[in-house]
A and B are shown apart, each in its own frame.
Chain A
Amino acid sequence: AQTVTQSQPEMSVQEAETVTLSCTYDTSESDYYLFWYKQPPSRQMILVIRQEAYKQQNATENRFSVNFQKAAKSFSLKISDSQLGDAAMYFCAYRSSHNTNAGKSTFGDGTTLTVKP
């Protein structure tokens, strides 16, 4: 079974600075997807960024980028130019690409990010 570990329960960053959230995972599969989701205090979880394991290039979405190290099974999220609206709980998630199990996702425990003005 896959596991996802987020070792930082809480992180804080000064507005306009950069912060990196860590995520490691364990799997025996070679093809899979990794995601970062954001859950603001209003509670609805939304997708931040996704990475396909077969792609070597790190995904980027505006101020959000990942550092995907497949061999090390590491998938960190970097937030540049942090904004107050980035304050939220962030979840790292793993999803198999296989047809079995409907591609169910495994989540880490989450990292609560505080942005200081």
Chain B
Amino acid sequence: DVKVTQSSRYLVKRTGEKVFLECVQDMDHENMFWYRQDPGLGLRLIYFSYDVKMKEKGDIPEGYSVSREKKERFSLILESASTNQTSMYLCASSLLRSPLHFGNGTRLTVT
């Protein structure tokens, strides 16, 4: 079974801090994704990557950046955390025409 592991289940950070959310998958998937989930808004794509060092902006990239130095790891970076980035963050990976495999999610609170 594919395993997608997000490093933290819960995270509390202060406004202005730099925040790193880590995601690792173990199935050699080319594609990796970061979504943000908010009540009533579904899942919104922040960034995705289709290969090592390759990245593309999703629908809501403002305030975020990503890093993919190795195929199995995809990091989401909040350069200067703000309270409106309090949310659930979901990482996913997949092959090109296959379903997404999700991690457990990271509940981030910015105070």
Q: Which residues of B contact A44 (CB under 8 A)?
A: 102-105
Q: Which residues of A contact B97 (CB under 8 A)?
A: 33, 95, 97, 103
Determine the distance from Cα of A7 to Cα of B44 in the docked complex, in whole angstroms: 17
Interface SS of B by simple majority: strand
Determine the distance from Cα of A30 to Cα of B70 in the docked complex, in whole angstroms: 34
The closest CB in chain B to the CB of A9 belongs to: B40
Q: Which residues of A contact B50 (CB under 8 A)?
A: 102
Interface size classification for chain A = 20 to 34
Determine the distance from Cα of A20 to Cα of B30 in the docked complex, in whole angstroms: 34
The residue from B40, B44, B56 contacting A101, defined by CB atoms under 8 A apart:
B56
Determine the distance from Cα of A9 to Cα of B4 in the docked complex, in whole angstroms: 28
Determine the distance from Cα of A88 to Cα of B98 in the docked complex, in whole angstroms: 22
Query: Among residues 56 to 111 in chain B, which have CB atoms less than 8 Å away from a CB atom of chain A?
Result: 56, 58, 88, 90, 92, 94, 96-97, 99-100, 102-105
CB distance from B38 to the nearest CB of A (A): 10
The residue from A9, A50, A99 contacting B99, defined by CB atoms under 8 A apart:
A50
Interface residues of B (CB under 8 A from A): 30-31, 33, 35, 40-45, 48-50, 56, 58, 88, 90, 92, 94, 96-97, 99-100, 102-105
In the complex, the answer to whether B58 meets A104 with C-beta atoms within 8 Å is yes
In the assembled complex, A86 has its CB within 8 A of some CB on chain B: no
In the complex, the answer to whether A107 meets B43 with C-beta atoms within 8 Å is yes
Q: Which residues of B contact A109 (CB under 8 A)?
A: 40-42
Q: Which residues of B contact A50 (CB under 8 A)?
A: 99
Q: List 13 A-B contacts (CB under 8 A).
A: A33-B97, A91-B42, A99-B96, A102-B30, A102-B31, A102-B49, A103-B31, A103-B96, A104-B48, A107-B35, A108-B42, A109-B40, A110-B42
